[in-house]
């Protein structure tokens, strides 16, 4: 145990020391801390609606339960292919061979995962001001929402590990588990549809809240129980909170008992996941962050068949997209689309703007995973004897059809939920495409100007700043037209974004001529 | 022909290459040796046009970043550069189309030579590290470059591939191409080198032509320079 304590203490100490040696990271941490303090202060100072006219807190517990379910399912899904994400590759190589009891090592992994789950939910804290104004919650209640989020992710990971150890190398068991999970989700979806849809658009939100806070959803392991606990905490019902958290604790105890009884030799069950995590870490360090290719790729028709010179990058990307995605869009894009659609249902009364902002905010993360970024880390884009501007445009071309499809997938349902006209929906689609161009251009600018910067944190920060700079003209024009109509505002924003992006791309046209590929 | 003229490459305050100049003629094989961190990969990446640098690099008389120079250059990176979602054969098709080459069967010949033809429908992500390296080599040779630079090309290769690669070095020389090889596996280039450059701390510590080295083997030469250097530093 002392070895593990030493390891934990040393890692923490070195992490803190690295802040001194890497000023970019220190600045990032200070900025994050400053933003958090600002959020907390502004939340406290926020003008609250009079006469306690907050929104129903039931909405918040329903939303929390839905998010917990999503996080739990995402972790669970990994269980079928790669097991729990409890250990790093250094643990596998250095800790597993050491003569320490596997149970002790597992405890170390669980602690590590618990900390990671908490960090994962850190972004929730930035919602304090919004949630305080909308639902009147206090900071301790927000902390409990964060704890619920971390618990859902953590329990999902442990369950994933158990599923993997049960199904690993046994397709029949894997099929059985998938069938059970699929049936449960199908029944749940049918139940929610039955509860929500008959009320029509006007009753969508109350029906959804009622269904997600109803007894059937509450029976759902982890997400339902955590929803119950959060509801209890928000409404001041100690028995409900205790029951929810108690059920989760009991579930965790059962999982641990089953893991140790069934398979104390769990090392193999976490190996695959550690390897995948290691590749992700390496990719992140090298700036090659991209959507991981699926475990089993359907190769289909072979051959690129089209494209000559720089054009071939575009057709190669289309081929890679076909093989890399189970659906027309990537998993990340579909998840983000689902989040925006659910968000629009909850923010129905607030109009189009919050949903649009949410959609372009989340779009930033799928833009970072584009094929162009991956291409920049391979030598071919630089070596191919074609003019740099031509290569850049063809290598970026794939983002446009993907962005258009993604925008349509998001805004067709959102338009229906918010009751937008066909024209306004089309404008939303166009504006979202313009943001895809904006993010792509920001990416190119950062690579062109700071391609040699090796700190990924600093690169992300620069990307954020450049994005704000490129978006500024659009925001200014939109604000000027704010009183006219949403359509005019978004159309002007789309035009300004497109103009800013094209200008930025033109100015960076020689980027591939003066590469700084220092990661290979 | 490859000419490197006063090339310096800095990462912030650290100079990875300091004022490096050398020349490799047509039909010559130059070997770049040096301990880890000596700056070998950096100069190779500068030649390939992947890094910004101070100084001049010419490939067959053209600046290395010009399209003409790119057409004449073949580059085998240290880490195999393959695409996860393309098959082996599609990698070759991709390079052929990117370099605007007609299909004259060269892709198949190279894949057969490096025992990859039977793996032509395998995806990049399904290949072992050694197979990825072989594919990377095939991609670099497909357009019949006049100047070829290899960065640690032997790593991960099986004995058959090493034998093939050594033969490729000889064939490239015989065809009048310029070859630059950076490697730690001194044995693998013992019989093929014409000139050797030994790098230490970002600069050339020694340059020897084969006829100047007399009876001294490449390994002896390497240790004489690098360990002699260390002793000098210690004194």
Which residue in B142, B125, B151, B148 sits closest to B43, CA to CA?
B151
Q: Is residue B134 part of a domain?
A: no
% pLDDT > 90, chain A: 26
Domain boundary among A248, A282, A316: A282
**Cβ atoms within 10 Å of B56's Cβ, excluding its own:** 13
B199 φ/ψ angles, rounded to the nearest 5 degrees: -105, 140
| Cβ(A277)–Cβ(A88) below 8 Å | yes
Count of domains forming chain B:
1
Residues A331 and A191 in one domain: no
| pLDDT above 80 (res B5) | yes
Judged by a CB distance cut-off of 8 A, whether residue A320 touches chain B is yes
Query: What is the reported pLDDT for B12?
Result: 75
| pLDDT above 70 (res A49) | no
Q: Which residues pair with B20 in a beta bridge?
A: B7
Q: Which of A21-35, A350-364, A445-459, A503-517 ranks highest by mean pLDDT?
A: A350-364
Please report residues of A whose CB lies closer than 8 A to that of B71. 385
Q: Is residue A442 part of a domain?
A: yes
Domain boundary among A282, A317, A341: A282
Query: What is the reported pLDDT for A455?
Result: 66
Judged by average pLDDT, the poorest of A234-243, A261-270, B41-50 is A261-270
Q: Is residue A8 part of a domain?
A: no
pLDDT band at B18 (very low <50, low <70, confident <90, very high): very high
Rounded to two decimals, the pTM is 0.74
A168 Rama sector, left if φ>0, alpha if ψ -120 to 50, beta otherwise: beta
**Cβ atoms within 10 Å of A5's Cβ, excluding its own:** 10
Positive or negative CA dihedral for A148, A151, A157, A160? negative
Average pLDDT value for residue range B65-92? 92
| Cβ(A312)–Cβ(A305) below 8 Å | no
Residues A137 and A74 in one domain: yes
Residues A189 and A328 in one domain: no
A297 and B86 in contact by Cβ < 8 A? no
Q: Is residue A411 part of a domain?
A: yes
Helix (H) / strand (E) element for A58: namely: helix A57-81
Query: What is the reported pLDDT for B233?
Result: 47
Q: Report d(CA A336, CA A439) in Å as an integer.
A: 16
A514 and B71 in contact by Cβ < 8 A? no
Residues A250 and A202 in one domain: yes
CATH number of the domain at B54, please: 3.40.50.300
A380 and B95 in contact by Cβ < 8 A? yes
| pLDDT above 80 (res A271) | no
Please report residues of B whose CB lies closer than 8 A to that of A452. 11, 52
HSE, side-chain direction, 13 A CA sphere, residue B121: 6
Query: What is the reported pLDDT for A520?
Result: 39
Centroid of chain to Cα A52: 34
**Cβ atoms within 10 Å of A292's Cβ, excluding its own:** 15
For A63, which DSSP code? H
Average pLDDT value for residue range A131-143? 84
Residues A269 and A368 in one domain: no
Query: What is the reported pLDDT for B8?
Result: 95
In this complex, how many residue pairs, one in chain A and one in chain B, have their CB atoms less than 8 Å apart?
104
| Cβ(B179)–Cβ(B150) below 8 Å | yes
pLDDT band at A290 (very low <50, low <70, confident <90, very high): low
Q: Is residue A358 part of a domain?
A: yes
Judged by a CB distance cut-off of 8 A, whether residue A382 touches chain B is yes
Which of A383, A390, A451, A452 has the highest number of chain B CBs within 10 A, making it the mutation to test binding with B? A383
B211 Rama sector, left if φ>0, alpha if ψ -120 to 50, beta otherwise: alpha
Please report residues of B whose CB lies closer than 8 A to that of A386. 67, 98
Render pLDDT for B161-172 as a digit per residue (tens, 0 to 9). 999 999 999 999
Residues A360 and A434 in one domain: yes
Average pLDDT value for residue range B65-71? 92
| Cβ(B32)–Cβ(B199) below 8 Å | yes
Average pLDDT value for residue range A141-153? 89
B214 Rama sector, left if φ>0, alpha if ψ -120 to 50, beta otherwise: left
Q: Is residue A122 part of a domain?
A: yes
Average pLDDT value for residue range A323-339? 81
Q: What is the 3-state secondary structure (H, E, C) of chain B?
A: CEEEEEEEEEECCEEEEEEEEEEECCCCEEEEECCCCCCHHHHHHHHHCCCCCEEEEEECCEECCCHHHHHHEEEECCCCCCCCCCEHHHHHHHHHHHCCCCCCCHHHHHHHHCCCHHHCCCEHHHCCHHHHHHHHHHHHHCCCCCEEEEECCCCCCCHHHHHHHHHHHHHHHHCCCEEEEECCCHHHHCCCCCEEEEEECCEEEEEEEHHHCCCCCHHHHHHHHHHHHHHHHHC
Q: Is residue A517 part of a domain?
A: no
| pLDDT above 60 (res B136) | yes
Alpha helices in A101-138 (DSSP H): 102-120, 128-135
Render pLDDT for A77-98 as a digit per residue (tens, 0 to 9). 766 666 656 777 777 777 777 7
Of B51, B90, B123, the CB nearest to A303: B90
| pLDDT above 50 (res A301) | yes
% pLDDT > 70, chain B: 96
pLDDT band at B25 (very low <50, low <70, confident <90, very high): very high
B54 lies in which domain range? Answer: 2-81+146-234
Higher-scoring residue by pLDDT: A22, A211: A211
- The nearest alpha carbon in chain A to B16 belongs to A518
A288 φ/ψ angles, rounded to the nearest 5 degrees: -105, 25
Average pLDDT value for residue range A345-363? 84
Average pLDDT value for residue range A305-319? 94
What ipTM goes with this model? 0.88
% pLDDT > 70, chain A: 87
Tokens of A331: 């998993």
**Cβ atoms within 10 Å of A102's Cβ, excluding its own:** 14
B98 and A299 in contact by Cβ < 8 A? no
Q: Which residues pair with A354 in a beta bridge?
A: none
A395 lies in which domain range? Answer: 287-292+303-507
Average pLDDT value for residue range A487-516? 89
Average pLDDT value for residue range B173-185? 94
Residues A96 and A129 in one domain: yes
Sheet with B2-11: list strands edge to edge: B14-24, B2-11, B54-59, B62-63
Query: What is the reported pLDDT for A110?
Result: 77
- Biggest CA–CA distance in chain A, Å, is 71
Residues A209 and A342 in one domain: no
Judged by a CB distance cut-off of 8 A, whether residue A316 touches chain B is yes
Q: Report d(CA B128, CA B139) in Å as an integer.
A: 16
B48 and A379 in contact by Cβ < 8 A? yes
Tokens of A89: 């590759």
Q: Is residue B183 part of a domain?
A: yes
Higher-scoring residue by pLDDT: B94, A157: B94
Query: What is the reported pLDDT for A254?
Result: 92
| pLDDT above 90 (res A319) | yes
* SS3 of residue A65 by DSSP: helix
Domain boundary among A251, A282, A313: A282
Q: Is residue A232 part of a domain?
A: yes
Q: Is residue A512 part of a domain?
A: no
| Cβ(A474)–Cβ(A497) below 8 Å | yes
Count of domains forming chain A:
2
């Amino acid at each position: 145990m002392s070895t593990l304590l030493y390891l934990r203490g040393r890692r923490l100490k070195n992490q803190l020391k690295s802040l001194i040696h890497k000023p970019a990271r220190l600045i990032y941490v200070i900025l994050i801390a400053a933003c958090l303090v600002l959020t907390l202060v502004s939340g406290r100072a926020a003008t609250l609606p009079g006469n306690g006219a907050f929104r129903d807190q039931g909405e918040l517990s329903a939303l929390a339960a839905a998010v917990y379910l999503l996080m739990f399912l995402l972790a669970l899904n990994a269980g079928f292919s790669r097991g729990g994400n409890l250990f790093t590759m250094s643990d596998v190589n250095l800790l597993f061979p050491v003569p320490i009891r596997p149970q002790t090592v597992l405890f170390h992994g669980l602690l590590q995962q618990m900390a990671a789950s908490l960090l994962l939910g850190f972004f929730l804290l930035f919602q304090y001001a919004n949630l305080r104004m909308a639902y009147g919650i206090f900071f301790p209640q927000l902390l409990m929402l964060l704890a619920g989020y971390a618990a859902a992710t953590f329990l999902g990971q442990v369950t994933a590990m158990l599923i993997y150890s049960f199904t690993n190398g046994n397709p029949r068991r894997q099929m059985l588990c998938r069938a059970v999970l699929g049936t449960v989700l199908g029944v749940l979806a049918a139940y929610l549809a039955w509860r929500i849809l008959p009320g029509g658009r006007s009753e969508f939100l109350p029906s959804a809240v009622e269904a997600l806070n109803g007894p059937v959803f509450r029976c759902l392991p982890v997400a339902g129980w955590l929803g119950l606990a959060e509801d209890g905490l928000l409404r001041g019902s100690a028995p409900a909170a205790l029951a929810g958290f108690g059920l989760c604790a009991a579930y965790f105890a059962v999982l641990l008992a089953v893991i140790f009884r069934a398979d104390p030799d769990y090392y193999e069950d976490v190996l695959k996941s550690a390897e995948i995590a290691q590749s992700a870490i390496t990719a992140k360090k090298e700036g090659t962050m991209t959507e991981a290719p699926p475990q089993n790729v359907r190769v289909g028709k072979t051959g690129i068949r089209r494209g000559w010179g720089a054009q071939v990058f575009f057709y190669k990307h289309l081929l890679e997209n076909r093989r890399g995605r189970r659906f027309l869009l990537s998993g990340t894009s579909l998840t983000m689309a689902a989040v925006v659609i659910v968000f629009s249902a909850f923010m129905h009364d607030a109009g189009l703007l919050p949903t649009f902002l949410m959609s372009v905010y989340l779009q930033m993360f799928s833009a970072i995973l584009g094929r162009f970024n991956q291409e920049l880390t391979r030598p071919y884009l630089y070596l191919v004897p074609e003019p740099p501007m031509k290569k850049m445009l063809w290598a970026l071309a794939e983002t446009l059809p993907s962005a258009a499809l993604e925008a349509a997938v998001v805004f067709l349902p959102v338009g229906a939920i918010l009751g937008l006209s066909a024209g306004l929906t089309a404008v939303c689609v166009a504006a979202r495409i313009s943001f895809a161009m904006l993010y792509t251009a920001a990416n190119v600018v950062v690579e062109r100007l700071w391609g040699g910067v090796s700190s990924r944190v600093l690169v992300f920060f620069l990307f954020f700043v450049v994005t704000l700079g490129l978006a500024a003209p659009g925001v200014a024009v939109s604000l000027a037209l704010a009183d006219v109509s949403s359509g005019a505002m978004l159309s002007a924003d789309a035009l300004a974004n497109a103009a800013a992006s094209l200008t930025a791309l033109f100015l960076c046209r020689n980027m591939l001529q003066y590469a700084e590929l220092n990661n290979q | 022909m490859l000419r490197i003229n006063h090339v310096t490459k800095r990462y912030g305050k650290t100079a990875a290459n300091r004022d490096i100049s050398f020349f490799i003629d047509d039909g010559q094989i130059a070997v770049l040796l040096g301990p880890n961190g000596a700056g070998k990969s950096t100069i190779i990446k500068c030649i390939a046009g992947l890094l910004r640098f101070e100084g001049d690099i010419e490939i067959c008389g053209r600046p290395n970043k010009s399209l003409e120079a790119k057409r004449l250059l073949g580059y085998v990176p240290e880490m195999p550069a393959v695409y996860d979602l393309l098959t082996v054969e599609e990698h070759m098709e991709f390079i052929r189309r990117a370099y605007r080459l007609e299909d004259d069967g060269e892709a198949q010949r190279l894949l057969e030579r490096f025992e990859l033809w039977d793996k032509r429908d395998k995806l990049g992500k399904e290949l072992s590290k050694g197979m990825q390296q072989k594919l990377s080599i095939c991609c670099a040779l497909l357009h019949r470059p006049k100047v070829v630079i290899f960065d640690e090309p032997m790593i991960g290769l099986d004995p058959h591939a090493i034998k093939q690669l050594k033969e490729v070095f000889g064939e490239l020389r015989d065809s009048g191409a310029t070859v630059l090889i950076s490697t730690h596996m001194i044995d693998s280039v013992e019989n093929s080198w014409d000139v050797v450059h030994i790098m230490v701390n970002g600069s050339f510590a020694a340059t020897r032509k084969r006829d100047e080295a007399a009876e001294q083997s490449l390994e002896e030469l390497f240790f004489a320079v690098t360990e002699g250097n260390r002793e000098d530093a210690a004194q």
